[in-house]
Amino acid sequence: MNICNREGGRCAEMAMVCLTDFEEYAKEHLSKATWDYYAAGADECCTRDDNLLAYKRIRLRPRILRDVSVSDTRTTVQGTEISFPVGIAPTAFHCLAWHEGEVATARATEALNTCYITSTYSTCSVEEIVAAAPNGYRWFQLYVYRDRKLSEQIVHRVEALGYKALVLTVDVPYTGKRRNDIRNQFKLPPHLKVKNFDGVFQQETAGPEEYGIPANTLDPSISWKDVYWLQSITRLPIIIKGILTKEDAELAVEHGVQGIIVSNHGGRQLDGGPASIDALSEIVDTVQGRIEVYLDGGIRTGSDVLKALALGAKCVFIGRPAVWGLAYKGEEGVREVLQILNDEFRLSMALSGCRNVAEINRNLIQFSKL
């Protein structure tokens, strides 16, 4: 963000202090259609907005005089150590925000040694992403298509490339109604493609399109039996993204998945569902440590991360803030966003009396009387 000194004509770069600074920069510098696409929630955006407000209803109960002179933010996800419990959620079309797109995101997460969940709807291919950040720790987010071969082919591709888990998104049998995308008639610009399907749909380009691929490609008949199908074609751990109830959490455990991401798709699917953080406790209580539970939606500060971990999340994932970082300065911007969250999380831990992630528990939390 450049602030100009009118008298001297010099421009000084304003420090990006918190994630909101990146949001404001992105809103100012992205085209309206691109900003609206990233910012969109479904219908009246109640769930999108509640994802943020819900954290403000949660209070911390800090413990004092605990010798926090040394702190350790490291944790593990699926048995792999990461530097702190914040990863990048699967978000589409990073090249809309920055010309290098997902390649820049991959390099940033590799540099900070955390987890990047690559979206099926990437504007760089999975091969390009791996080539750019060969030592990065990555999971792959998957949709199930009417043509199962499409899903099967990409599963085999990412497994061969060294992706460490599959994240099956289960809350999109149909795409939510995002009003501004309809008003803007949102489409990928001609120079960008859903690169993982480059050439696959060429014969169908004349038909109606939805977010870069032919309409009606996603399979609304997806059911729990498809989890077994997925297990039959891959050895990768399967993590289900989009669970918001204890009933579905129990079914996930029964179907042998290795993790759950508590998520309402950033409020982009069903409007009127719970904020992710409000759904977390019942899912953690149901799972009882049998599989790992993660969360996305509404994380904007290090204390948000602390609250999610206190309520039982093993790790959280950020979506929109990663895109804001890209819009600001590409790889460097994503690194800054992650570093700010890391620093804020470390500070919140210390001020709450926690020296490491293992000391974070539900005793740290109280709910506001508001």
Active site (catalytic) residues: 265
Would you say 37 is a known binding-site residue?
yes
Is 136:114 a contact under the CB 8 Å cutoff?
no
Would you say 143 is a known binding-site residue?
yes
Residue ranges with strand state E in 119-193: 137-142, 166-169
Q: Return d(Cα 24, Cα 325) in angstroms, integer.
A: 11
Kindly state the tokens that stand for 11: 């421009």
Would you say 141 is a known binding-site residue?
yes
Would you say 297 is a known binding-site residue?
yes
Instruction: Choose among 205, 200, 203, 173: nearest CA to 187.
Output: 205
Would you say 319 is a known binding-site residue?
yes
- Please list the residues that pair with 201 across neighbouring strands: none
Would you say 296 is a known binding-site residue?
yes
Q: Give the phi and the psi of residue 319 in degrees, each rounded to 5.
A: -110, -80
Would you say 105 is a known binding-site residue?
no
Would you say 73 is a known binding-site residue?
no
Would you say 320 is a known binding-site residue?
yes
Would you say 259 is a known binding-site residue?
no
Kindly state the tokens that stand for 145: 């298509």
Would you say 268 is a known binding-site residue?
yes
User: Which residue's entry shows tokens 């593990």?
Assistant: 76
Q: What are the residues whose beta carbons fall under 8 Å from the beta carbon of 36, sequence distance 6 or more? A: 180, 181, 184, 186
Q: Return d(Cα 57, Cα 357) in angstroms, integer.
A: 22
**Which DSSP category does 94 fall into?**
G
Which amino acid type is present at position 24? E
Would you say 107 is a known binding-site residue?
no
Annotated binding site: 37, 90-92, 119, 141, 143, 169, 178, 241, 263, 265, 268, 296-300, 319-320
Which residues are part of a known binding site for FMN? 90-92, 119, 141, 169, 241, 296-300, 319-320
Residues of each annotated binding site for glyoxylate: 37, 143, 178, 263, 265, 268
